[in-house]
Amino acid sequence: MTTTRRESRFRSLIHEPGALALGTWCKLPAMESVELIALAGFDFIVIDLEHSMLSVETAYRLIGTARLSGVSPLVRVPGLDPGLMQRLLDGGAEGLVLPHVDSASQAREAVSAARFPPLGRRGAGSTSRAGNWGALDRAEYTRYGQDEVVLVAQIESREAIRAATDIAAVKGIDALLVGAADLSADAGLAEDDPVMTAMASEVIKIATDAGLPVGNAGNGTGEAVRRALTAGYSFTMLSNDASLLGAALRSAAAGARAITSGPA
């Protein structure tokens, strides 16, 4: 049995002063997608179980591929489901992203599901991948789950904005994520509306004051990354694997059509 101390690369990255960890959503049920993301140089992926048809078993396989490829695997769950959250963590996820956290009480429920006692009620399963199939010392398996796994609360409504200070204060919440798409829908505003920018800035300030990293999601452009860095985000998602693949295919087809349809 080994007692090697493990560290979360994602946790280290998002706490690095002045740095911006780069990730993308993973929506395609293909291990090759994760390999390509890692080879491209991304720091982390968020396997999306909220807005995709991915199964738990597929997410499990993508987590394993990510770990072997050197990119940190997080999973966005569809909602607060303690059983699912526990399975994904024992499957090796380095963190969980929980959507629609609108209150401190919801944040505390998330912590209860994701953390071991006394902070939470997660059950111990050290014979899983997270415990190196029983080869990892039980104390280190527990320490990693308690101290290294990252629990991210998504802030994506006006109610959540109002509760953000209390959410950030919940012990066991490690980071906030501004969900601009749902926040804009809730507020009835375009994502580039100045009021939206002000609300995002408020969350960034709240997170910073609480000592928490804060992230966002944008498109796959350098300008989106520049804006995220300037705004003060600690991590950002550049589009998603399906959209990035689609954009590359459209670009290739458009370039080819321009040649084949042009003058001989």
Query: Which residues carry out catalysis?
Result: 51
Q: Distance between CA 169 and CA 194 in Å, rounded?
A: 27
Residue 248: how many other CB atoms lie within 10 Å: 11
Please list the alpha-helical segments (H only) found in the chain. 9-14, 31-40, 56-69, 82-90, 104-114, 138-143, 158-168, 180-187, 194-210, 222-231, 241-260
The SS3 assignment for 22 reads strand
What whole-number distance in Å separates Cα of residue 15 and Cα of residue 38?
21
Helices assigned H by DSSP within 78-193: 82-90, 104-114, 138-143, 158-168, 180-187
Of the chain, the end-to-end C-alpha distance in Å amounts to 70
Q: Report the C-alpha gap between 219 and 177 in whole angstroms.
A: 15
